[in-house]
Homo-oligomer: A and B are copies of this chain.
Amino acid sequence: MTYSPDVPEVVVQRLPQYLRALSNLQRGGQEVISSQQLGALLQATPAQIRKDLSYFGRFGKQGRGYNIRHLLERLRYILGLERTWNVAVVGVGRLGRAIISYQGFQPEGFRVVCAFDSDPRLIGQLAGGLMIHDISNIGEVLRGEQVQIAIVSVPGAEAQLVIDQLVEAGIQAILSYAPIAAHVPEGVHLRSVDPVLELQSMTYYLSTPD
């Protein structure tokens, strides 16, 4: 496989952005792109683009740019996106339902296959066509559904407990929408979606004269 412990995490986090931008270009019919153009799309320097990609081999020819189709294939392979990943959603409130119904996961190879909640009024009901399971059965259901990734959409106060349960059930990739800095053991990957942090990083600029 292509994994190397030497690749900085920030580089790995940029690869999906490269993939997104190149897919859009391919849909528009473009076949080749320079590191200058790609950098302009992604607000990075051409040198940064070349350095990031160099971790994974030689992609472009000097002065000829990158072949978009080839680079996309390689990026999908590197990121493990040539297969489908099964995803569980934990917490079926308003946000959880929006996540379950989100149309953007399936085309990218992420299939939400099961949902969990702790509210007895929700357990056994359907959300977006999925049965809502009792969270106390989470380990068993995740194994049965062959889930590799979990999305956490419970309130902040419950999030760390849920994340601990997911880790115990063997989940190694967790996307959390809870507004807390949660902890996971080494080897488990946690990403957060937190709109408040994003807003706060913009008010810095708003609060000052241009």
Give Cα distance in the complex from A118 to B19, angstroms: 31
Question: Taking the complex as formed, is A129 at the interface, i.e. its CB lies under 8 A from any CB of chain B?
Answer: no
Question: Taking the complex as formed, is A137 at the interface, i.e. its CB lies under 8 A from any CB of chain B?
Answer: no
Instruction: Please state if B97 and A200 are interface contacts (CB–CB under 8 Å).
Output: no
A97 partner, pick from B94, B156, B199, B204, beta carbons under 8 A: B94
In the complex, chain B residues whose CB is within 8 Å of the CB of A98? 94-95, 97-98
Nearest CB in chain B: distance from A9 CB, A: 8
Give Cα distance in the complex from A195 to B105, angstroms: 8
A51-92 CB contacts (< 8 Å) to partner B: 78-81, 83, 85, 87
In the complex, chain B residues whose CB is within 8 Å of the CB of A202? 149, 173, 175, 189, 191
In the complex, chain B residues whose CB is within 8 Å of the CB of A2? 208
Given A94-B98, A181-B21; A207-B3 close (CB under 8 Å): yes
In the complex, chain B residues whose CB is within 8 Å of the CB of A206? 80, 85, 148-149, 172-173, 189
Question: Taking the complex as formed, is A37 at the interface, i.e. its CB lies under 8 A from any CB of chain B?
Answer: no
Given A98-B95, A151-B195; A204-B78 close (CB under 8 Å): yes
Question: Taking the complex as formed, is A120 at the interface, i.e. its CB lies under 8 A from any CB of chain B?
Answer: no
Question: Taking the complex as formed, is A140 at the interface, i.e. its CB lies under 8 A from any CB of chain B?
Answer: no
In the complex, chain B residues whose CB is within 8 Å of the CB of A15? 200-201, 204
Instruction: Please state if A209 and B1 are interface contacts (CB–CB under 8 Å).
Output: yes
Instruction: Please state if A204 and B79 are interface contacts (CB–CB under 8 Å).
Output: yes
A1-56 CB contacts (< 8 Å) to partner B: 1-3, 12-13, 15-17, 19-21, 24, 41-42
Given A3-B207, A110-B196; A201-B94 close (CB under 8 Å): no
With A3-B204, A16-B196, A20-B179 given, name 14 new contacts (CB 8 A).
Answer: A12-B205, A13-B201, A15-B201, A20-B197, A80-B204, A80-B207, A80-B208, A87-B199, A94-B97, A94-B98, A97-B98, A104-B156, A173-B203, A191-B202
